[in-house]
Chain A
Amino acid sequence: MIEIERSGALNTVQDLGRPAWRHLGVSVSGAMDTLALRAGNLLAGNDENAAAIEVQMFPFRVRFLRDTRIALTGADCRAQLDGEALPPWWGCQVRSGQVLELHYPRVGARGYLCVAGGIDVPEVMGSRSTALRGSFGGFGGRQLQRGDRLPLGEASVLALPAHGMGIAPPLVALASVFPFNRDGHIQLRAIPSGEYPLFAADHDRFWQQSWQVSMQSNRTGYRLAGAPIQPSKVVEMRSYGLIPGIVQVPPAGEPIIQLSDANTAGGYPKIACVIEDDLWRLGQLQPGQSLQLVRSDAREALAIKQAVDAWLNRVRCDVPSMSKVAGLC
């Protein structure tokens, strides 16, 4: 068990989500930064899809009620274990009674606390992710609050070095794969989508300007503020299924990027879709920060996915787990 001692709004239990139920209108949910979740779980000796705590409101404090192993990934939340600083992207043993505190991040927006065995809340529709809109999954279908005691699953055999071990975060290890522009804004690769041709007059503006993440941004989607873009004619769309990453343009002309908790269907014109392996970068962007959308295609998306998979494989091999004993690496 672990006990939440302090938490802000919208800190939730998340795994990789429930993608199999979209045809019933059920959002995928799941971690906003799936790369941090997957790597964190590997470092904790878990399955990549094990449930963890996504922390996006700080400070956040948790007490361990048994000896276990943890991994911290995602944003650098200036973590302290019993008052001692822990590095970001770090895995270590913790003892029963120890207290971990996460603070407002220096860089990034969301921290992930993975615990050996995973957060063992019941699976609902094949996932332990919290579906906030439907109020199911996760811990009682809601955000975490003080006093919640979360059960842990059965931990695998894994002996981390006594002092713990770190892994280089993807922005370091994969620096060439995840670029920034000259202004220091992240560049997200996006592939033109359905109504892209209707915005022909504004294509340059769409790709070239820096879009600012507005305050009306959350796990459902990010609204982008900037010089508006308009279609050459107003089209009446029939409701269509959509996926996280789709960039829609409501009548006001400021795009919305749909994310983990997005509706499964929408009706606004869609101009582009951010590639899946870039979505974690949005999960680490705070309102007020800016981004640039860069035109891409499926071939580039595939190359980026392969680089990410190769990196996760290296992480898997670096962690001294049973896989090494079994000779898999």
Chain B
Amino acid sequence: MVALVSELRNHAIPVATAEDGESVTLSTMGGRAWLVEAPGAFDLPAQRRIWSLARLLAQRNDVESLIPGVTNLLVLFRTIQPDSEAVETQLRAYWRQAQEVHPQGRLIEIPVCYGGEHGTDLDAVCRHSGFSAREVIRRHYQGEYTVFALGSAPGFGYLHGLDPAVATPRKKIPSLNMLKGTVTIGGAQAGVSVLTGPNGWNAIGYAEIEVFDPYAESPALLAPGDTIRFLPERIEL
């Protein structure tokens, strides 16, 4: 809990009162976990309210873990909650309270070698988008990305901010042994893989970057709210 709050850097700037608008979608995972899914698009305002919801719930002693996802939040209580109606009423009330927070994240620049031997799916992204390789790469490094959440693998950041014109669905057949550091596109999301292994996202380049150190006081390099820029160090076509 503490770790999560510090990650959001506590620099909330409340903006306009959050409109109730559409309500959240609630569902359970077992007897003590609820998934709270924000209504609306895959966008920054929705994610900002998810961060805010996490901060509010972090103050509750009966909450064991909060795991932000992409416009959703998994809330794990310490004990089984047989009265699901009471829990859901409370979660909806917290959502109404949750106003967009604007964590003052860090700016992290990541030099990328585009294409080449690790950009194995660059052709697929070109075919899907209709752009040349050079144009796909340009649109990728011109974007400014926000770390929405960490997950899947230690320190992996789900990045929002990809130019929608180069969004490309995940691969039907995953790569079996994608190298750690591969720069990828998964649907409308961008990322840099953190472990060598099977991966269903589209590989367009490679970055030499360590994003996770289990022995460090703060093990993950990235935090929700951080800004990422990719720098075209080399383009191999």
On A, residues with C-beta under 8 Å from B are 19-27, 124-125, 131, 133-134, 136-137, 191, 193-194, 236, 238-243, 245-246, 263-266, 270, 273-276, 297-299, 301-302, 305
Say which size band chain B's interface belongs to: 35 or more
Not counting A24-B219, A133-B153, A243-B33, a sample of 17 additional A-B residue pairs whose C-beta atoms are within 8 angstroms of each other reads A23-B149, A25-B194, A26-B154, A125-B219, A131-B154, A134-B195, A191-B28, A240-B35, A241-B35, A243-B29, A243-B30, A265-B149, A265-B152, A297-B31, A298-B84, A301-B31, A305-B80
**Would you mind naming 13 contact pairs between A and B with Cβ atoms under 8 Å apart?**
A21-B219, A22-B151, A133-B195, A134-B214, A194-B27, A239-B70, A241-B68, A243-B74, A246-B29, A263-B151, A264-B67, A298-B81, A302-B31
- Chain B residues contacting A240 (CB-CB under 8 Å) are 35, 37, 69-70, 72, 74
B131 at the interface (CB under 8 A from A): no
User: Per a CB cutoff under 8 Å, which of B7, B27, B70, B151 touches A25?
Assistant: B151
- Chain B residues contacting A24 (CB-CB under 8 Å) are 3, 150, 154-155, 212, 219-220
Please report the C-alpha to C-alpha distance between residue A245 and residue B84 in the assembled complex, in whole angstroms.
19
Is the pair A245, B29 in contact by a Cβ cutoff of 8 Å?
yes
Min CB gap B196→A, angstroms: 10
B158 at the interface (CB under 8 A from A): yes
- Chain B residues contacting A266 (CB-CB under 8 Å) are 152
* Interface bits B10-41 vs A (CB < 8 Å: 1, else 0): 00000000000000000111111101010000
- Chain A residues contacting B164 (CB-CB under 8 Å) are none
Is the pair A124, B42 in contact by a Cβ cutoff of 8 Å?
no
Q: Chain A: which residue is nearest B157 at the CB level?
A: A25
User: Per a CB cutoff under 8 Å, which of B30, B42, B70, B152 touches A263?
Assistant: B152
Is the pair B153, A25 in contact by a Cβ cutoff of 8 Å?
yes
Contact status of A273 and B28, CB under 8 A, knowing A24-B220, A134-B214: yes
Please report the C-alpha to C-alpha distance between residue A187 and residue B158 in the assembled complex, in whole angstroms.
37
